[in-house]
Every structure is written in C-alpha cells, then in structure tokens.
A and B are shown apart, each in its own frame.
Chain A
C-alpha cells in the first residue's frame, strides 16, 4: 500500500539513508527509535511536509514523491498534537472539512459523529487551551480521521499523555486498526510496539536496522541498539568456542555458558533477556543448559516485582515477580542460583 524506495534526505548534520519501507493495507507498523534517530523526519517525508533528496514514495501504486501535501491523503498526528489554539474543539475537527468546502450540514454531522466515537462530544464548544493531554490527543485524532485518510501517521502519540491515560489511547488506536485503518506509529518506547504493532521496525542514525514481527525483533535483536530499544540489559562480550559440536561463550572473567547455533565468529556480543533467567534459593534439581551460583548485588523495585542484579562472575539482571521474591527471602549479598536455557543467549550481528 505504502512503499518507500531508497529514500535519502539530508537535514543539517543528520541524514536519513537508503530507507526502504513497505507497509501493507491494515497493518499497524511501529517504528522504534531514539529522539534524533530520524523517525519524525520520516513521517514528514511521507506526509509531504519535506521532500526527499532522492528516492520515491508510492501510495496505492501511485508515485506521490512530489505530490502536494494537501493531495496525499495521509493524516499526520503531531507529537504535541498541534491543536489550533484560536479555535474551539468543533473548529479544530471541522477545519479539514471546511478546507474541502464541505456543506455546512454535512460538516456538523461528521464532526458530531466522529466526536461521539472519540468520547469528546461534550467538549465540542470548549476552547482548546484548557483541555487535558488525553482530550487534546482525542481531538487531534478526530480532526485527522474526519476526512478518512488512507494512512494514519502517529508521532509519539503517548509522549504527552499521563501514564494513566495511555491504556485508553492504546485501546482507541487498537480499535482504529481493527476498523481497517493502516497506521504507522513512531515511538522511543518498545512497550508500545509490544502492545500495538503487527509489525515493528527499529531506526537508528537515519537507517532502518531491523524489521519484523514484534516478538521476532525483541527475541532476536540484530544488534546492540535494537537490543537496547527492546529493553534488554544483559550484554556480554564473549569469545566463542566449540567443544564436541556444542558452542560455548567464554566471558572475559572466565564464566562459560552454553549457547545454541551452528556457526559463530571468533568473538561477539551476546544478550540474554532478564525474564529468561530464573533464580532459586537452593541449587535446583534437574538438568539445565546453564546453572550458576551468584550473590545478589542489588535489589531494585519495579512495577510487577523486583529486579535483582546477580553477580555470578558476570552480572545478570533478573526479573522476579513479587510472590517469587518473597519466597526467595533474598537480601543483598545472599547467595542464589540462576539458570537460563542455551537458546536464551542471542548472538548479535555487530556489522549492522
């Protein structure tokens, strides 16, 4: 449906390089990247607010690279919503319809309907400067959706909303996607990708470095940057060696653990998700690919329980739920055992 081919764009010191993107009808595509990675610029290119230096943009097999902004039929919702402060909520939502010289009665009905759908019909006569972040967000979405654009572009839609309202917004976005809207959503928060995306991509320094199903991207990040975006904290620089057909990773301070795979380079970077590591009070019975004793170096409270930093020669971050933590009776400096399967260790490709 939307295709970006070899897009390049220089913007001062920064450049988007060789961007290729293919978005399918009905897809919810989340593009992850830090601030300054070029994700907003990419949305502006698609919307036509800036033009690429080279490459082409196709929407429904039509080349729209140089098409006027107004004729692109893409709806961009800006990070801080860009609500017009000199108009009421009604004026804002009606704005695109007035620009299309729609009949007044039709405007009135269309605005009423979309406002009801967004649960903001009681705000229509209000001035915008005293609305809350969540309300502004809904007004911005309603204003963009009232003309049914082919493609919805969202720039950090959760960034200016209170944590308590994020679930509401996510629900709205999921519903929009279910109703058939194709969405490109850029964010720096991998949790939004986990919650919403049907496909995710990671952009770093102006390049898309990985794309795929969210589970794939987060399970098997291709490099350190993607791993960091995916919230992974256990990184190990290791040497690889093979013994009797089995691969091992040797850490600088001699901790050795088993990994999977057929072929590895001499050395590289390995990540292990903190929820793949299990922690026990006593040495667990049974066979484990990797089982080490360590001491608890730090205990950090988090939303669902605790994060333990276990020093087993190398430091491992381990997530435990509150009940598990209470059973562990763990304190700082107390001894524990950790296990993780060989498949949990992912070798990153450092050339990307």
Chain B
C-alpha cells in the first residue's frame, strides 16, 4: 500500500504531465482524423508503397549493419584498449549530430564524387535517390542504439562463463556463438528493435539523400508542405499505427523466442 505524502503527490503530478505531453498531441491527431479520410488514405497506393518501402529498407539496414555491429559491441564490452573512450564517442556521434548534417555527410560519401559513390557507380548503381542510399542514411543515424544495447548485453554476461567455455576446450568463436550471443540475446533483440524503429522514423538524413522514392516520413512532409495540415493527418495516423503494430509484433516475437527456447531446452 503506497502512502501518499506531499512529495509523492508532486512526483505523481509531474509524471502525469510528462505522459500527457506525449499522449495529448497523438490523441489530437487521432481525434481530428475522420474515418473516411483515414480509409481513403489507407487505400492510396502511393501511401502503401511508401510505408512498405520504409519498413523493408529499415529492416534490411538494421539486419545488415547488425552483422558487423555485434562483434563491435562485444569488443566494446570485453576489451580494454587505448582510446576506448574515443571509440565510444565515435559510436555515439550520430546521436548528437543534427540529422540533416548527417544526411549531407552521407550524401557527400555516396555521391559520384565520394568514395562509396564511385565504387557503386563502377557497378552501375546510383546510390542517390535509391533504397540503398536510404538504408545507409537510416543505418548511420540509428546504429548507436543497436551497438549500445548489445554492448550492455555482452557486458552483463559473466566473463567467467566465457572462460569456462574456453577451459572446456571450445574455440573462441564457439564460445562467442554458444555462450556470449545466447546470453546477450535479449539485449541484442532489444537493440535491433530500437534501431529498426529509429531507422523507420528517420526523416532529416533520408530526405537529403533521397526525396524519391519516398519513405513514409518524407511522404507525410510532402503532403503537409503541398496540401496542409489536414491532408497530412490521415497519412500520419496510418504510419503511426503501422509503426506501433510492427513494434508490438517484434516485441512479441522476441518474447516468444525466449519461451520456445526454454521449452526446447526442457524437451532436449
């Protein structure tokens, strides 16, 4: 039983205000969207395509960069080396950069004058206004979320377990795949979901690299700047709902994985 004193009341009021601040604009958005407009927008092929594009590009960007980021996260959790703080600073850099500035930096990198742009051009690929370019922009701004979450996960795995694995004759890679990754799995999945969600909602960096094909945040902005607030609302509502749905689904999958793992173990 919680006993309320003045301090608890102050905490309660402040917490409620913060929650209200998050929920009120969203609620307003939903209230001001007429169902007919919503369903019309939901049937709009352009809107559907842009949402689908956002989802798969963000997922692919997260998946591919995770392959490289998992070892980096392990390295950051387990090893001490000179200038480790600098490396951690570099990892966190995209979080503090203005996203448009990040977009400009990436554009320079992938344009025909940039190193990656030239390499892509050599195989006949233009990264600007291309899903691959969008994926790069999304990955750039959202990677820190994945790396830091996975790093915390690895750091929480007792080092003794890894040492025990080595002492029992397992190679370093075997220990990594059978002990470190499974035990850090929850944090890795959380990082994955966060990076995916962050990439999906990115606007600033992507709009500079690729106005077309339009990802959902760019489409919402385009509808707002061309037709105004009321016309951009249904698309916003739709995208928020899809994002929420995907978010919840991924969380459920992460949980289900854990449950099946335990029952599998019990049956083994």
Minimum C-beta distance from B185 to chain A (A):
8
| 8 Å CB interface, B224-264 against A | 261-262
A75 with B161: in contact, given A86-B183, A91-B265, A91-B268 (CB under 8 Å)?
no
Assess whether A99 is interfacial by the CB under 8 Å rule: yes
- Assembled-state Cα–Cα distance A100/B174 (Å): 11
Of chain A, the residue at the smallest CB distance from B183 is A86
- Assembled-state Cα–Cα distance A88/B261 (Å): 11
| 8 Å CB interface, B176-194 against A | 178-179, 182-183
Query: What 1/0 flags go to B143-167 for Cβ under 8 Å of A?
Result: 0000000000000001011011111
Of chain A, the residue at the smallest CB distance from B264 is A88
Q: Say yes or no: B163 contacts A82, CB within 8 Å.
A: yes
- Assembled-state Cα–Cα distance A4/B166 (Å): 22
Assess whether B115 is interfacial by the CB under 8 Å rule: no
Q: Say yes or no: B167 contacts A76, CB within 8 Å.
A: yes
Assess whether B170 is interfacial by the CB under 8 Å rule: yes
Q: Say yes or no: A75 contacts B268, CB within 8 Å.
A: no
A47 with B262: in contact, given A82-B158, A86-B182 (CB under 8 Å)?
no
Chain A contact patch, size range? 20 to 34
* Most chain A beta-carbon contacts within 10 A, residue among B170, B262, B265: B265
Minimum C-beta distance from B180 to chain A (A):
10
Of chain B, the residue at the smallest CB distance from A95 is B168
Of chain A, the residue at the smallest CB distance from B268 is A88
> Of the candidates A70, A74, A82, A127, which one forms a contact with B160 in the assembled complex, judged by CB atoms under 8 Å apart?
A82
Assess whether A328 is interfacial by the CB under 8 Å rule: no
Q: Say yes or no: A147 contacts B169, CB within 8 Å.
A: yes
A70 with B268: in contact, given A49-B163, A80-B160, A86-B183 (CB under 8 Å)?
no
* Most chain A beta-carbon contacts within 10 A, residue among B158, B163, B168: B168
Q: Say yes or no: A125 contacts B182, CB within 8 Å.
A: no
Residues of B within 8 A of A48 (CB): 167
Assess whether A78 is interfacial by the CB under 8 Å rule: yes
Assess whether A297 is interfacial by the CB under 8 Å rule: no
Q: Say yes or no: A82 contacts B268, CB within 8 Å.
A: no
A143 with B168: in contact, given A80-B160, A85-B183, A86-B182 (CB under 8 Å)?
yes
Q: Say yes or no: B266 contacts A125, CB within 8 Å.
A: yes
- Assembled-state Cα–Cα distance A48/B166 (Å): 9
Assess whether B171 is interfacial by the CB under 8 Å rule: yes
Query: What 1/0 flags go to A67-86 for Cβ under 8 Å of B?
Result: 00110001110101010111
Q: Say yes or no: A88 contacts B265, CB within 8 Å.
A: yes
Q: Say yes or no: B160 contacts A69, CB within 8 Å.
A: no
Residues of A within 8 A of B265 (CB): 86-88, 91, 127
Assess whether A96 is interfacial by the CB under 8 Å rule: yes
Assess whether A187 is interfacial by the CB under 8 Å rule: no
A74 with B167: in contact, given A88-B265, A127-B266 (CB under 8 Å)?
yes
Q: Say yes or no: A70 contacts B171, CB within 8 Å.
A: yes
Assess whether A274 is interfacial by the CB under 8 Å rule: no
Q: DSSP class of B's interface residues: helix, strand, loop or mixed?
A: helix
Number of interface residues of B (CB under 8 A): 23
| 8 Å CB interface, A234-267 against B | none
Residues of A within 8 A of B174 (CB): 99
| 8 Å CB interface, A137-167 against B | 143-144, 147
Q: Say yes or no: B169 contacts A99, CB within 8 Å.
A: yes
A99 with B268: in contact, given A49-B163, A84-B179 (CB under 8 Å)?
no
Residues of B within 8 A of A91 (CB): 265, 268
Q: Say yes or no: B164 contacts A76, CB within 8 Å.
A: yes
- Assembled-state Cα–Cα distance A23/B254 (Å): 50
> Of the candidates A69, A86, A125, which one forms a contact with B166 in the assembled complex, judged by CB atoms under 8 Å apart?
A69
Assess whether A317 is interfacial by the CB under 8 Å rule: no
Q: Say yes or no: B168 contacts A144, CB within 8 Å.
A: yes
- Assembled-state Cα–Cα distance A69/B183 (Å): 22
Assess whether A90 is interfacial by the CB under 8 Å rule: yes
Minimum C-beta distance from A119 to chain B (A):
21
* Most chain A beta-carbon contacts within 10 A, residue among B160, B164, B178, B262: B164
> Of the candidates A49, A87, A90, A95, which one forms a contact with B170 in the assembled complex, judged by CB atoms under 8 Å apart?
A95
| 8 Å CB interface, B6-43 against A | none
Residues of B within 8 A of A100 (CB): 169
Minimum C-beta distance from B205 to chain A (A):
37
- Assembled-state Cα–Cα distance A76/B161 (Å): 12
Q: Say yes or no: A99 contacts B168, CB within 8 Å.
A: yes
Q: Say yes or no: A84 contacts B170, CB within 8 Å.
A: no
A84 with B161: in contact, given A125-B266, A127-B262 (CB under 8 Å)?
yes
- Assembled-state Cα–Cα distance A127/B264 (Å): 10
A-B contact pairs, 10 of them (CB 8 A): A49-B167, A75-B168, A82-B164, A84-B179, A88-B265, A99-B168, A99-B169, A125-B268, A144-B168, A147-B168
Q: Top 8 closest A-B pairs, CB basis?
A: A82-B164, A99-B170, A96-B168, A86-B182, A69-B166, A82-B160, A99-B169, A76-B167
